[in-house]
Amino acid sequence: MVVKWHASDYKGLANEEEVRAVIRKGAPAPGQYVLPYCSDHKDMGKSEMLAKYQDGPVAMLMVSPNGPPAMGAALGKWFAFSVLVAFMAAYLASRTLAPGTHYLQVFRVVGATSFLAYGFGALPNAIWMGKPWGSALKDLADALLYALLSAGVFGWLWPR
């Protein structure tokens, strides 16, 4: 948020107020929605469904609870996720590396583990959910920065 690195990843709709009014009228519960919706994959090939896909829009929609974004809760969840990634990296490193292992080897193991954990979740979103590849690549770049920082700290603090 400070660097504005991801600012271009999100776009507004030209008719946002109309779209908001239609969604509000439907009163969907918080969750994940898809347009057009097909309850049974056997119906995907039917002419009515194919026409809906052709006419568009084709969209994935996440609906959150009403109210301003809860940044405190999101940051708390991110912190818990980061602790979980660090724990898993520590576990793998402790099972594969002995005390006294050279800094660079610790850096490699923890860096690769952390990069996988932080970054590779972005790829399925691009593959299946339509997230723009440019945005997914930025997520991978973020993951690389987190992984390098994690690897450096683990290498520095690894038992001698």
- The answer as to whether 12 is a domain residue is no
- Strands, E, within 5-44: which ranges? 31-35
Which range of residues forms the domain containing residue 56? 27-67
- The answer as to whether 31 is a domain residue is yes
Question: pLDDT category, 4, cuts 50, 70, 90?
Answer: confident
Provide the domain count of the chain.
2
Same domain, 77 and 53: no
Token output for 39: 């309850």
- The answer as to whether 5 is a domain residue is no
Residue recorded with tokens 């929605």: 33
pLDDT at residue 5, as a whole number = 85
CA 133 to CA 135: how far, in whole Å? 5
Count the neighbouring beta carbons within 10 Å of the beta carbon of residue 47: 7
SS3 category, 61 = strand
**What are the pLDDT digits (tens) for 39-55?**
998 999 999 999 999 99
Average pLDDT of the residues of the chain = 94
Say what the pTM is: 0.84
Same domain, 79 and 136: yes
Question: pLDDT category, 2, cuts 50, 70, 90?
Answer: low
**Where a domain ends, among 39, 67, 95?**
67
Same domain, 81 and 48: no
Geometric angle at alpha carbon 115, from 111 and 119, rounded to 5°? 170
